[in-house]
Amino acid sequence: MRTPTDLMADIGEVLLDEDRIQARIRELGAQISADYAGRRITLVSVLKGSLPFMADLMRSITLPLRIDLMEVSSYGGATTESSGLVRILKDLSTSIEGEEVLICEDIIDTGLTLNYLIRYLKGKRPTSLRICTLLDKPARRLVEIPVDYTGFTIPDQFVVGYGLDYDELYRNLRFVGVLKPEVYAAPE
Protein backbone atom coordinates (compact mmCIF):
# COMPACT_ATOMS: atom_id res chain seq x y z
CA MET A 1 0.00 0.00 0.00
CA ARG A 2 1.26 3.46 -0.91
CA THR A 3 1.59 5.71 2.15
CA PRO A 4 1.36 9.41 1.32
CA THR A 5 3.86 11.70 3.00
CA ASP A 6 1.64 14.78 2.72
CA LEU A 7 -2.12 14.17 2.75
CA MET A 8 -2.88 17.69 1.53
CA ALA A 9 -0.62 17.27 -1.51
CA ASP A 10 -2.88 14.43 -2.73
CA ILE A 11 -6.01 16.59 -2.74
CA GLY A 12 -6.92 18.12 -6.09
CA GLU A 13 -9.94 20.11 -4.94
CA VAL A 14 -11.60 20.91 -1.61
CA LEU A 15 -15.30 20.30 -2.22
CA LEU A 16 -16.61 21.22 1.26
CA ASP A 17 -14.45 23.07 3.75
CA GLU A 18 -14.63 22.66 7.51
CA ASP A 19 -16.78 25.76 8.11
CA ARG A 20 -19.38 24.71 5.55
CA ILE A 21 -19.59 21.20 6.96
CA GLN A 22 -19.94 22.39 10.55
CA ALA A 23 -22.53 25.04 9.66
CA ARG A 24 -24.66 22.51 7.79
CA ILE A 25 -24.42 19.99 10.64
CA ARG A 26 -25.67 22.65 13.08
CA GLU A 27 -28.67 23.20 10.77
CA LEU A 28 -29.35 19.46 10.55
CA GLY A 29 -29.11 19.14 14.33
CA ALA A 30 -31.58 21.99 14.83
CA GLN A 31 -34.01 20.49 12.35
CA ILE A 32 -33.79 16.99 13.86
CA SER A 33 -34.24 18.46 17.37
CA ALA A 34 -37.40 20.25 16.19
CA ASP A 35 -38.81 17.28 14.25
CA TYR A 36 -38.42 14.85 17.16
CA ALA A 37 -39.27 17.37 19.93
CA GLY A 38 -40.46 15.64 23.10
CA ARG A 39 -39.08 12.26 22.05
CA ARG A 40 -35.80 10.45 22.49
CA ILE A 41 -33.91 9.06 19.54
CA THR A 42 -31.27 6.45 18.80
CA LEU A 43 -28.56 7.40 16.31
CA VAL A 44 -27.17 4.40 14.47
CA SER A 45 -23.90 5.13 12.75
CA VAL A 46 -22.26 2.97 10.14
CA LEU A 47 -18.52 2.62 10.75
CA LYS A 48 -16.02 3.70 9.90
CA GLY A 49 -16.74 6.61 7.57
CA SER A 50 -19.65 8.07 9.55
CA LEU A 51 -17.71 8.46 12.78
CA PRO A 52 -16.83 12.20 12.57
CA PHE A 53 -20.31 13.00 11.23
CA MET A 54 -22.09 11.25 14.08
CA ALA A 55 -19.74 12.78 16.65
CA ASP A 56 -20.55 16.29 15.42
CA LEU A 57 -24.24 15.69 14.65
CA MET A 58 -25.02 14.23 18.08
CA ARG A 59 -23.61 17.36 19.73
CA SER A 60 -25.84 19.54 17.56
CA ILE A 61 -28.98 17.71 18.71
CA THR A 62 -30.56 18.92 21.94
CA LEU A 63 -32.80 15.87 22.57
CA PRO A 64 -32.08 12.93 24.84
CA LEU A 65 -30.37 10.43 22.57
CA ARG A 66 -28.67 7.06 22.53
CA ILE A 67 -26.06 5.97 20.03
CA ASP A 68 -25.16 2.60 18.59
CA LEU A 69 -22.68 1.50 15.96
CA MET A 70 -22.67 -1.01 13.13
CA GLU A 71 -19.91 -1.95 10.75
CA VAL A 72 -20.60 -3.51 7.39
CA SER A 73 -18.56 -4.44 4.37
CA SER A 74 -19.47 -5.31 0.83
CA TYR A 75 -18.50 -8.66 -0.62
CA GLY A 76 -16.17 -8.64 -3.60
CA GLY A 77 -16.00 -5.96 -6.27
CA ALA A 78 -13.46 -3.20 -6.72
CA THR A 79 -12.63 -1.01 -3.73
CA THR A 80 -14.64 1.98 -4.91
CA GLU A 81 -17.69 0.00 -6.02
CA SER A 82 -20.49 -1.38 -3.88
CA SER A 83 -21.67 -4.91 -4.70
CA GLY A 84 -24.89 -4.74 -2.71
CA LEU A 85 -24.04 -7.98 -0.89
CA VAL A 86 -23.42 -6.76 2.62
CA ARG A 87 -21.67 -8.55 5.45
CA ILE A 88 -22.23 -7.38 9.01
CA LEU A 89 -18.85 -7.03 10.74
CA LYS A 90 -20.28 -5.44 13.88
CA ASP A 91 -23.91 -5.59 14.93
CA LEU A 92 -25.84 -3.25 17.23
CA SER A 93 -25.01 -3.68 20.91
CA THR A 94 -28.43 -2.47 22.17
CA SER A 95 -32.04 -3.28 21.30
CA ILE A 96 -33.77 -0.78 19.01
CA GLU A 97 -37.23 -2.34 19.41
CA GLY A 98 -39.70 0.48 20.07
CA GLU A 99 -37.03 3.15 19.53
CA GLU A 100 -37.03 6.13 17.15
CA VAL A 101 -33.99 5.28 15.05
CA LEU A 102 -32.06 7.69 12.86
CA ILE A 103 -29.37 6.15 10.66
CA CYS A 104 -26.32 8.41 10.32
CA GLU A 105 -24.52 7.74 7.03
CA ASP A 106 -21.45 9.36 5.56
CA ILE A 107 -22.41 9.02 1.89
CA ILE A 108 -25.06 7.36 -0.25
CA ASP A 109 -23.81 6.28 -3.64
CA THR A 110 -25.60 3.37 -5.33
CA GLY A 111 -27.81 3.00 -2.24
CA LEU A 112 -27.23 -0.77 -2.11
CA THR A 113 -25.58 -0.77 1.33
CA LEU A 114 -28.29 1.33 2.92
CA ASN A 115 -31.02 -0.61 1.17
CA TYR A 116 -29.76 -3.74 2.91
CA LEU A 117 -29.33 -1.97 6.26
CA ILE A 118 -32.84 -0.51 6.20
CA ARG A 119 -34.36 -3.96 5.71
CA TYR A 120 -32.12 -5.42 8.41
CA LEU A 121 -32.92 -2.71 10.96
CA LYS A 122 -36.67 -2.72 10.21
CA GLY A 123 -36.61 -6.38 11.23
CA LYS A 124 -35.63 -5.24 14.71
CA ARG A 125 -38.97 -3.40 15.00
CA PRO A 126 -38.06 0.21 15.79
CA THR A 127 -41.00 2.63 16.16
CA SER A 128 -39.58 4.69 13.32
CA LEU A 129 -36.56 4.50 11.04
CA ARG A 130 -35.25 7.57 9.25
CA ILE A 131 -32.06 8.34 7.36
CA CYS A 132 -29.64 11.22 7.70
CA THR A 133 -26.69 11.36 5.31
CA LEU A 134 -23.95 13.93 5.17
CA LEU A 135 -23.36 13.42 1.45
CA ASP A 136 -25.61 12.24 -1.34
CA LYS A 137 -24.33 11.23 -4.79
CA PRO A 138 -27.64 10.66 -6.62
CA ALA A 139 -26.01 10.24 -10.05
CA ARG A 140 -25.12 6.59 -9.38
CA ARG A 141 -28.21 5.49 -7.45
CA LEU A 142 -29.36 1.94 -8.28
CA VAL A 143 -32.12 1.62 -5.66
CA GLU A 144 -34.45 4.30 -4.37
CA ILE A 145 -33.64 5.33 -0.80
CA PRO A 146 -36.03 7.50 1.23
CA VAL A 147 -33.51 10.04 2.59
CA ASP A 148 -34.99 12.26 5.31
CA TYR A 149 -32.02 14.56 5.97
CA THR A 150 -29.21 15.39 3.52
CA GLY A 151 -26.18 17.52 4.31
CA PHE A 152 -24.94 18.10 0.77
CA THR A 153 -25.70 16.72 -2.68
CA ILE A 154 -22.42 16.24 -4.52
CA PRO A 155 -21.41 15.35 -8.11
CA ASP A 156 -20.24 11.88 -9.13
CA GLN A 157 -16.68 12.14 -7.84
CA PHE A 158 -14.84 9.88 -5.40
CA VAL A 159 -14.29 11.99 -2.29
CA VAL A 160 -12.20 11.57 0.84
CA GLY A 161 -11.88 13.30 4.19
CA TYR A 162 -14.14 13.95 7.17
CA GLY A 163 -14.34 10.18 7.77
CA LEU A 164 -14.22 9.03 4.16
CA ASP A 165 -11.20 7.00 3.09
CA TYR A 166 -9.20 5.82 0.15
CA ASP A 167 -7.31 2.67 1.13
CA GLU A 168 -8.21 3.42 4.78
CA LEU A 169 -6.36 6.76 4.70
CA TYR A 170 -7.45 10.44 4.52
CA ARG A 171 -10.26 9.96 7.10
CA ASN A 172 -8.69 12.53 9.44
CA LEU A 173 -8.92 15.46 7.03
CA ARG A 174 -11.30 18.14 8.36
CA PHE A 175 -12.78 18.79 4.90
CA VAL A 176 -14.22 16.74 2.05
CA GLY A 177 -12.03 16.76 -1.04
CA VAL A 178 -11.35 15.03 -4.32
CA LEU A 179 -8.15 13.02 -4.68
CA LYS A 180 -5.77 13.80 -7.51
CA PRO A 181 -6.13 11.15 -10.24
CA GLU A 182 -2.44 10.20 -9.98
CA VAL A 183 -3.12 8.87 -6.45
CA TYR A 184 -5.37 6.18 -7.94
CA ALA A 185 -2.84 5.42 -10.64
CA ALA A 186 0.10 5.19 -8.20
CA PRO A 187 1.96 1.86 -8.44
CA GLU A 188 1.70 -0.48 -5.41
Active site residues: 109
Give the range of 7-15, 31-39, 164-172, 180-188 binding ligand 5GP by CB under 6 A: 164-172
Neighbours of 64 (CB within 10 A): 9
Give every CB contact of residue 37 below 8 A, 6+ residues apart in sequence. 63
Q: Supply the minimum distance, in Å, between the C-beta of residue 112 and ligand 5GP.
A: 4
136, 172, 176, 159: which is closest to 28 by C-alpha?
136
106 binds ligand 5GP (CB under 6 A): yes
Q: Contact 137/147 with Cβ under 8 angstroms?
A: no
Return the SS3 of 123: coil
113 binds ligand 5GP (CB under 6 A): yes
Kindly tell me which residue out of 101, 108, 132, 173 binds ligand 5GP, with binding defined by CB under 6 A: 108
User: Which DSSP symbol is given to 5?
Assistant: S
Q: Supply the minimum distance, in Å, between the C-beta of residue 25 and ligand 5GP.
A: 17
45 binds ligand 5GP (CB under 6 A): no
- Categorise residue 105: left if φ over 0, alpha if ψ from -120 to 50, beta otherwise: beta
* Interface pattern 126-155 for ligand 5GP (x via CB under 6 A): ------------------------------
Residues that bind ligand 5GP (CB under 6 A): 49, 82, 106-114, 158-160, 164-166
